[in-house]
Amino acid sequence: MNAVLHMDESALDAPLSVRGVAHAYEGRNALRGVDLDLPRGSVLGLIGRNGAGKSTLIRAMLGLLEPLAGETRVFGEPALRLSDAAKARIAYVPQQPEALAWLTATQMFDYLSRFYPNWDAGFVERTMQRWQLPTNRVMAKLSPGERQRVDLIRALASQPELLVLDEPAAALDPVARRDLLREVALRAGEAGATVLFSTHIVSDLERAASEIAFLHDGQLLLHCGLDETKERYARLWLPASQSAAAPPHALSRHRHDDGSLSVVVERGEDGGWPEAARLPGARVDALGLEDLFVEIAE
Amino acid sequence: MDASILTIQPTSPEPIYRQIVEQLRRLIAGGQLTPGEKLPSVREVAGFHAVNPMTVSRAYGLAESEGLLERQRGKGMVVATGQGISRSENERMQLLEPHLHETARQARELELPADEVVRRLQQLLGE
């Protein structure tokens, strides 16, 4: 995983940096010691099942929640005491936006455009039309999906340097979803914006993400470049007769009813699979991201 | 060519940058792309397929280092001279080899009769 273990020197003013963050709700652990750095220009897909702690981690990262332990920084500033200058560089879209609900979308955009020097009014107009959103209805009267779409437009229009989206895909139809991914990918790749988006729909992030992180049960199981993840890990299947030879340090192992064994293995220094892959009857299967996630999150 | 000539399957276990390089290799070997032909810009490909521009840059960079593409001043990436139809049938067949092996493996796993698989392949080739 060295490829994206970003060193502390670059983390000093990294868009996002998290050290040892832990949190619990009513005694139930939500985050159990998370370390994460996000370098400029990266697009991180945060994958996890419902309840894995994705929203809690995002809220802690942005200083919207004070974690029980650990340190979170945004552009080098403590997340809980962000300056106005830092706040102006960030846009965050929660799963259920509630702010300014008594305004219409047009009123909200007019109001907010004054605070953002790079506000892109053309983008707002185009995208409101393309995503078929009502401009003159009070936002409290919009469906949750419409409300989140308006909020995504709001976030993108401010042209933020750091864009954080909590489960953005749920509210979008396939066309709008593709539009969003295109915006995310181009802004990161060209304008150097940094993006974090959480999802439980793995296929959504495979186009745009440059890195992925698996959050499971409050812990980061994996944080790696997207391409490297696909190239580095595979599933090794061993028949029952050979299963004792399985490598001891596998990311996951599942014993099947017939005694055969599936383990997630990692390429060695030399780029080869562990020796057990050459045993008679052994089979190595390439894994898509979703398969990998299911293997290690089960 | 434009960006629509590429097909991208984001959920495939094969990383997107490799998918792009393999397709360029096949398109060039098959003569659909000819030496000197201009490739769509990184932005066009990234925008059309909604993929990360860094992924496209990586693919173009790899294709360049393999001699498939070359960077031309003011023009961007073009198909390298000395690439393309000059390849023998044998060389082009080599490019298909891994895919044939994979198809054969899956057909055996599914216990499909060989003549059925061959008949279907002929059908597809005739289309």
Is residue A42 classed exposed, middle or buried when 0-12, 13-18 and 19+ CB atoms within 10 A define those classes?
buried
User: Is residue A72 located within the same domain as residue A180?
Assistant: yes
CA A268 – CA A246 distance, rounded (Å): 15
Confidence at residue B83, expressed as pLDDT on a 0 to 100 scale = 59
User: Could you say which of B11, B43, B51 has the minimum Cβ distance to residue A208?
Assistant: B51
User: Is residue A181 located within the same domain as residue A275?
Assistant: no
CA A60 – CA A79 distance, rounded (Å): 8
Confidence at residue A17, expressed as pLDDT on a 0 to 100 scale = 93
CA A285 – CA A265 distance, rounded (Å): 10
If DSSP codes are grouped into helix, strand and coil, which group holds residue B68? coil
Of A190-204, B13-27, B79-93, which range is least confident? B79-93
User: Could you say which of A190, A227, A291 has the minimum Cβ distance to residue B43?
Assistant: A190
Shortest Cα distance, chain A CAs vs residue B52, angstroms: 5
Q: Which residue has the higher pLDDT, A66 or B93?
A: A66
> Does the ipTM exceed 0.90?
no
User: Is residue B18 located within the same domain as residue B72?
Assistant: yes
Q: Are B49 and B40 in contact (CB under 8 A)?
A: no
End-to-end Cα spacing for chain B:
22
Express the helix, strand and coil content of chain A in percent, nearest 5 each: 40, 30, 35
User: Is residue A121 located within the same domain as residue A77?
Assistant: no
Any chain B CB within 8 A of the CB of A189?
yes
Is there a contact between B15 and A208 if contact means CB atoms under 8 Å apart?
Answer: no
User: Could you say which of A188, A207, A210 has the minimum Cβ distance to residue B10?
Assistant: A207
User: Is residue A215 located within the same domain as residue A273?
Assistant: no
Max intra-chain CA distance, chain A: 70
CATH number of the domain where residue A262 is located: 3.30.70
Residues 6+ apart with CB under 8 A from A190: B43, B53
Confidence of residue B87 (pLDDT cuts 50, 70, 90): low
If DSSP codes are grouped into helix, strand and coil, which group holds residue B44? helix
Confidence at residue A119, expressed as pLDDT on a 0 to 100 scale = 93
For residue B112, give its domain range.
Answer: 89-126
Q: Are A17 and A6 in contact (CB under 8 A)?
A: no
Q: Which of A212, A217, A249 is nearest to A231 (CA)?
A: A212
Confidence at residue A1, expressed as pLDDT on a 0 to 100 scale = 42
Q: What is the mean pLDDT of chain B?
A: 88
Is there a contact between B50 and A182 if contact means CB atoms under 8 Å apart?
Answer: yes
Question: Can you say how many angstroms the Cα of residue A173 is from the centroid of all Cα atoms in its chain?
Answer: 19
CA B20 – CA A22 distance, rounded (Å): 41
Question: Can you say how many angstroms the Cα of residue A175 is from the centroid of all Cα atoms in its chain?
Answer: 21
Instruction: Work out how many domains chain B is built from and give that number.
Output: 2
User: Is residue A165 located within the same domain as residue A224?
Assistant: yes
CA A168 – CA A36 distance, rounded (Å): 21
| pLDDT tens figures, B53-83 | 999 999 999 999 999 999 988 888 999 887 5
Instruction: Work out how many domains chain A is built from and give that number.
Output: 3
Chain B partners within 8 Å of A209 (Cβ): 52
Chain B partners within 8 Å of A227 (Cβ): 15-18, 55, 58
Q: Where are the beta strands (DSSP E) in chain B?
A: 69-72, 76-79
| Token code pair at residue A206 | 């495979």
Any chain A CB within 8 A of the CB of B38?
no
Q: Where are the beta strands (DSSP E) in A141-185?
A: 162-166
Confidence at residue A259, expressed as pLDDT on a 0 to 100 scale = 87
Q: Please report, in tens digits, the pLDDT of each residue of chain A (298 residues total).
A: 444 444 444 456 899 999 999 999 988 889 999 999 999 999 999 998 888 899 999 999 999 999 999 999 999 999 999 999 899 899 999 988 888 888 999 999 999 999 888 999 999 999 999 999 999 999 999 988 899 999 999 999 999 999 999 988 877 888 888 889 998 988 888 888 999 999 887 877 888 899 999 999 899 988 999 999 988 999 999 888 888 888 887 778 888 898 888 999 888 888 888 888 888 888 888 888 888 888 888 7
Any chain A CB within 8 A of the CB of B118?
no
User: Is residue B15 located within the same domain as residue B73?
Assistant: yes
Of A6-10, A282-286, B10-14, B46-50, which range is least confident? A6-10
In DSSP terms, which residues pair with A261 in a beta bridge? Answer: A238, A255
Any chain A CB within 8 A of the CB of B51?
yes
Is residue A213 classed exposed, middle or buried when 0-12, 13-18 and 19+ CB atoms within 10 A define those classes?
buried
For residue A234, give its domain range.
Answer: 230-297
Confidence at residue A2, expressed as pLDDT on a 0 to 100 scale = 44
User: Is residue A171 located within the same domain as residue A63?
Assistant: yes
Confidence at residue A190, expressed as pLDDT on a 0 to 100 scale = 82
Is there a contact between B16 and A227 if contact means CB atoms under 8 Å apart?
Answer: yes
Asked whether residue B113 is domain-assigned, the answer is yes
Confidence at residue A125, expressed as pLDDT on a 0 to 100 scale = 94
User: Is residue B100 located within the same domain as residue B73?
Assistant: no
